[in-house]
Amino acid sequence: MEADAQVIVEKRGGAGIIRLNRPKAINSLTLPMVRDLFQALQRFEEDAGVSCVVLTGEGDRGLCAGGDVRIIHDLGKAGDPQVLDFWREEFPLNYRIARFGKPYIALMDGIVMGGGVGISAHGSHRIVTERTKLAMPETGIGYFPDVGGSWLLPRAPGECGTWLGLTGNAVTAADAIYAGFADYLVPSDRLDGLVQDVSQAADTASIETVITARAVEAGEGVLSINRDIIDATFRFDTVEEIVAALSARQDAFSRETLEVLQKRSPTSLKLTLKLLRLGRESASLIECLEREYAAGTEILRQHDFYEGVRAALVDKDRNPRWQPARLEEVREEDIAPYLAAHSGNLFPDHRL
């Protein structure tokens, strides 16, 4: 595999190693990378000599900062019909990871956001480190947690997933484990040895022994410490009620959370909450991915995603001008088109 490839695939002993290789972009995913990942998984699943897959990211900043939304922004602004190709292939990749037939070991070192969560948190063995910063930050760019976020987030304890999805705040290793996005905390200086040992492990039990031997206690994080407040304020089914509950409290955590929500896209907040509540009642990951794809299709027809990416990544003024700008201006009928029935496009061979 060429060293300048965006995804480096190699076999080391019994391990199939997949290395994301866009370190300057914190390994943000492009469509060719999604395709390379899918093909690598197919190859390793069919190879009887491969006992597990290890996913890692090159560079020292993180596993993956998400999908390259700047590319999606530019294609969408240009009206390019290929703009949906990324999600059309990324979401089946997320599902393949969730259903992968061998241990899938994701090394979630450093930044793991958005699409980076999609290629790690659906795996069987999710390893975070003391450097992990995990987030689904999409409401800050006029989007919503996708890549199966509407399946994963509602399955976090209590309303922790609602807090994560609406605020978009980054959390640490302890929180990632508490929320069910990761399994083990392994110090970053032990990862090389871990990879070396799992490449020599013969079966799943041996792989788990290798991992647990290097794992340490995660301790408490923001979510567990503030669980009572999160459950009390985020249990509602409208964003207005959540905001009112936070506004009625005087503690620092509630005030800080409220300040964050006030900066997010009002449309994204309402759409995200709807998707999370629907995801809570959904029977399968596929059902959530299909719904997310429909919502993403509508997002590209509207204002806030382009404005959010402009403010964050194009002009970088960090001052998005949302339309509508206030929660009360976002009506139920404005959200309805995002949730229109839209099944069978991504997974025609599966029943929802």
Catalytic residue among 57, 66, 115, 161, which?
Answer: 115
Question: Can you give the three-state secondary structure of 73-105, one letter per residue?
Answer: HHHHHCCCHHHHHHHHHHHHHHHHHHCCCCCEE
Instruction: Give SS3 for 237.
Output: coil
In b/e form, how buried is each residue of 205-225, taking b as 16+ CB within 10 angstroms?
A: ebbbebbeebbeebeebbbbe
Per the CB < 8 A criterion, the answer to whether 211 and 186 are in contact is yes
Q: At what angle do helices 204-214 and 191-198 cross, to 10 degrees?
A: 160
Helix (H) or strand (E) holding 52: strand 52-57
Q: Out of 146, 197, 304, 307, which one is annotated catalytic? A: 146
Do the beta carbons of residue 100 and residue 132 sit within 8 Å? no
CA–CA gap between residue 308 and residue 253 (Å, rounded): 25
The question of whether 138 is a catalytic residue gets the answer yes
Contact 184, 128 (CB under 8 A): yes
Q: Give yes or no: 115 in active site.
A: yes
Q: Please name the helix (run of DSSP H) or strand (run of DSSP E) that holds residue 7, with its range, or none.
A: strand 7-12
Q: Which of 323, 302, 279 is nearest to 136 (CA)?
A: 279
Catalytic residue among 66, 67, 110, 165: 67
* C-alpha 176 chain-centroid distance: 11
Closest C-alpha to 211, from 52, 16, 7, 61: 52
Catalytic residues: 67, 115, 138, 146
